[in-house]
Amino acid sequence: MLKTASITKQQVLSGELLTWYDRHRRVLPWRAPVGQRTEPYAVWLSEIMLQQTTIAAVIPYFLRFLDRWPTIADVAAAPLDDVLTEWAGLGYYARARNLHACARAVVERHGGIFPADREALKALPGIGDYTSGAISAIAFDIPAAAVDGNAERALSRVFAVETPMPAAKPELRRIGESLVPDDRPGDFAQALMDLGATICTPRKPSCVLCPWRESCQALAMGIVESLPRKVEKTVRPHRTGVAFWVVDGSGAVLLRRRVEKGLLGGMMEVPSTGWAAAVPSLAAAKDGAPVAAEWRVLPGQVRHVFTHFELTLTIWAGRVAGRGDPTAGVWVKPDRLGDYALPSLMMKVVRHALGKAGA
């Protein structure tokens, strides 16, 4: 029997959270039934997809990946382009490149078995502080903290951490680690994230339903919604460019592959000029065209918002006779466009061009 006097405040908090979790646990495709563990491969796949991405967006991708590649060895054996194509639309494409590199590293370094070791996990591509902790706790029941944005928000409030983000991250991480129970660390990690996602929300948190309401310092101080503090946001710059919708005599459209690194790295694109703050001159746009053609400016524009800038693309349509020059890129029939690794921006361009110019 436990001695009451030996129970720490941390143990009380983690116990209250786990009790809440047992009653409010959500069913998710990567979440095993109570008392069972999700296999490391599925934990890893879901955690990579969930980085900065909503659950609703991830679910269909997660199910398709698992169906197409049931084991990590299957991912490792697949061509990178297949992974990029399956990832298309989910965003942050470095994740897909790192996912593929990680699968190959696990096969080569660890015989195809994820290491049950936080440091070894963190050494893998695409696995950082948060994800190494999440896999350790959820897949292996290792007492490790998994402090994501949800957890940071909840912890900053319960402990009234007023240091602005991201400077407060180390402190919040330490607080998170101090709460991890030896028993059920995986459930604790998911419970803390669920609390932040459903109760301790950025705006209008449901404090009356919170298992930590009696302990929450920010609630007592009346500053819940002002935490976590963050520094003021910067303005998002605007860039423009011209994209070229080129159709050959067979009705095929020209696509190119983008360079391996950087924005939309390794993904396919409708060829375009560079994207700059200044609107390109007619001459500059023609210089940036992938082929010589008579250009027709399509009405309207394609707008897209990235994390760090906004883009407005004007579409120029042109035709080339006969079969398109294969050195210019890949010529694809419009009904086969879905087979290519086209990010959402490029799908917008496709829809716009097909609507205005036809195939």
Partner DNA sequence: CACACGTGGCG
Partner DNA sequence: TCGCCAAGTGT
Positions in the binding site for DNA (CB under 7 A): 28, 30-31, 46-47, 50-57, 89-94, 98, 125-132, 134, 148-150, 153, 166-167, 190, 193-194, 196-197, 201-203, 230, 233-234, 262-265, 304-308, 343-345
Q: Minimum Å distance from CB 160 to DNA?
A: 18
**47 flagged as catalytic:** yes
For DNA, the closer CB: 60 or 358: 60
**Per-residue tokens: 202:** 């950025």
- How many Cβ atoms sit within 10 Å of the Cβ of residue 5? 5
Q: In the complex with DNA, which residue's Cβ is closer, 112 or 149?
A: 149
Nearest by Cα to 252 from 172, 337, 192:
337
Q: How far is the CB of 158 from DNA (least distance, A)?
A: 16
Shortest gap between Cβ of 72 and DNA (angstroms)?
Answer: 16
**How many angstroms separate the CA atoms of 9 and 274, rounded?**
57
CA distances from 270 to 238, 312, 354 (A): 20, 14, 13
Cβ neighbour number for residue 147 with a 10 Å cutoff: 25
- Which residue's CB is nearer to DNA, number 82 or number 129? 129
Residue with tokens 């402090």: 147
**CA gap 279, 267 in Å, rounded:** 24
DSSP bridge partners of 303: 312
Give the pair of three-digit tokens for residue 64: 């398709």
Residue with tokens 């602005």: 164
Instruction: Give the residue with the Cβ less far from DNA, 148 or 248.
Output: 148
Q: Which of 47, 86, 152, 269 is catalytic?
A: 47
Rounded to the nearest whole angstrom, what is the least distance from the CB of residue 80 to DNA in the complex? 14
> Which residues does 117 contact at the CB level (< 8 Å), separation at least 6?
136
Nearest Cα to 319, choosing from 289, 293, 297?
293
Nearer to DNA, 32 or 78 (CB): 32
Task: Answer whether 213's CB lies under 8 Å from 285's CB.
Answer: no
Question: CB 262 → DNA: shortest distance, Å?
Answer: 4
Q: Which residues are catalytic?
A: 47
